[in-house]
Amino acid sequence: MRRRSGHAIVASLLLFNFVATGCQEEKPFGEKSRAELSVMYGDERSFEADYGRAFRAKYPNVEFRVVPISSEPDDWPDIVLSGLSDYERRAADGTIASLEPLIRRDRYDLANVAPSVLRLLRGYGAGELYGLAPVFSARALYYNEDLFKEKGVAPPADRMTWPEVLRLAERFPVQGDDDDDIYGLTLPSSSSLGSLLTDIGQSEGLTLIDPVGQALLFDSPKWGETADLMLRAFKSGTVRISGEPVGRTPDEMLRSHLFAAGRSAMAVQDESLLALLSSGVISVPFTYSIVAAPVSSQDRNVAFGQSLNVIFSIHSASRAKDAAWEFIKFAAGDERARRESRSGSALVARTPYQYEREERYEAFYALDANPDLRPLSELNPEAQAALMRLLDEGLNSVLEERQTWEEAVAQMKEKAEPVLKEAFREKTN
């Protein structure tokens, strides 16, 4: 578990104030209680549709004021919306309050919340819950049953590692032209060579950065073997990064996505692809199944790629903590999860409702998360982006045979050195 930052004293004082004022002096918030709550969200219309109207049906005397999403707003709202990185920073510097006192006071039931969601929230909160997440996102491994039967190849199984998945993809060599190629594996459009290599490497227990020497550690034999496996798959054409489904008509959407069109044996994608395939908007011309996403060889119960983009927290200086807490309990509770599971495409954090749509959603809930397994987590976002650009450039040069792996590693290490030194210098100041 990561240690708290230098802001721990400030955070502790704010937490003490929160416990003293929020849990002792305020009366329990009831259905007839009145409150004005400010909440961070995309816009008022979306908030009302997603949460506001349903909450006021139970608490009619609550009024909401929606403030725009911002990393550092001038006027902090009572209810703060965060993604994981902002959540971690805000918990560390005391911007948001720990919910642990309120959870204990109300004996709030977390037993049916997905373990991976709680693991991420507590991991990024240095062991405590500073917010709750109604929904989450995760990846799974989709596969085309018909293509595997045609090839006489055993289909993928749960808890395969990245090297195992890449080797399975090689059983589907590209033979046609660009219009009818069948690929072994497609990856989401957000993927890149650099991000995939760091994911695979970390899943295999490899270290990317030396924090002492402030250098890349790509020059080990194991990193070379991992890069060779990945680049060989891309060079042969068996692995390809696929665009998201786009188009004005269902047929255009189908043709634009390689897996949905039946031109990819496997795809690593999040839950949005299943929502599309099962929606009836497009007619899927094959039978497909889903297994759990590629896992870490160090722990086959842990996968990468889970994310929390909607985390509700209480601002430490809020004067309406009990009302804000009542909203967060509602937003992350069973009633809201039941409704979302029937109408939305997101994965609800409350596990009893995972099958409301269909059983194939089980694959997204099958694995745990490890918040400490984060490529480049030692670096700030700017340094992460700069380093990822360097990795993409170097790996592309090897893929296009402009450099050998050894030449690319030497160049990447040289270019990365000033980025890493500056990032670690800022971190220690």
pLDDT in tens, the chain (429 residues): 444 444 444 444 444 444 444 444 456 788 888 999 999 999 999 999 999 999 999 999 999 999 999 877 888 999 999 999 899 999 999 999 999 999 999 999 999 999 999 999 999 999 999 999 999 999 999 999 999 999 999 999 999 999 999 999 999 987 655 667 899 999 988 889 999 999 898 888 888 888 776 788 888 899 999 999 999 999 988 998 875 555 555 566 566 688 988 999 999 999 988 988 887 777 888 999 999 999 988 889 998 888 999 999 999 999 999 999 999 999 999 999 998 888 777 899 998 887 666 778 899 999 999 888 776 777 788 888 999 999 999 999 999 999 999 999 999 999 999 998 888 777 666
At 18 the pLDDT is: 45
CA angle 140, 146, 150 (to 5 degrees): 125
At 29 the pLDDT is: 83
| CA-wise closest residue to 20 among 315, 321, 313 | 321
| CA-wise closest residue to 395 among 274, 267, 256, 216 | 216
Cβ–Cβ under 8 Å, residues 311 and 121: yes
- Cα within 13 Å of Cα(376), Cβ side: 23
* Type of residue at 120: L
Residues of the chain with CATH 3.40.190.10: 8-137+306-365, 139-303
CA gap 42, 206 in Å, rounded = 38
CATH architecture for segment(s) 8-137+306-365: 3-Layer(aba) Sandwich (3.40)
- Residue 110 neighbours by CB under 8 Å, 6+ apart: 103, 118
Please, what sign has the CA dihedral across residues 101, 106, 107, 111? negative
- Residue 394 neighbours by CB under 8 Å, 6+ apart: 403, 408, 409, 411, 412
* Type of residue at 295: V
At 77 the pLDDT is: 97
DSSP per-residue string spanning 128-159:
S-S-B-SEEB-EEEEEEHHHHHHHT-PPP-TT
Class of domain 139-303: alpha beta
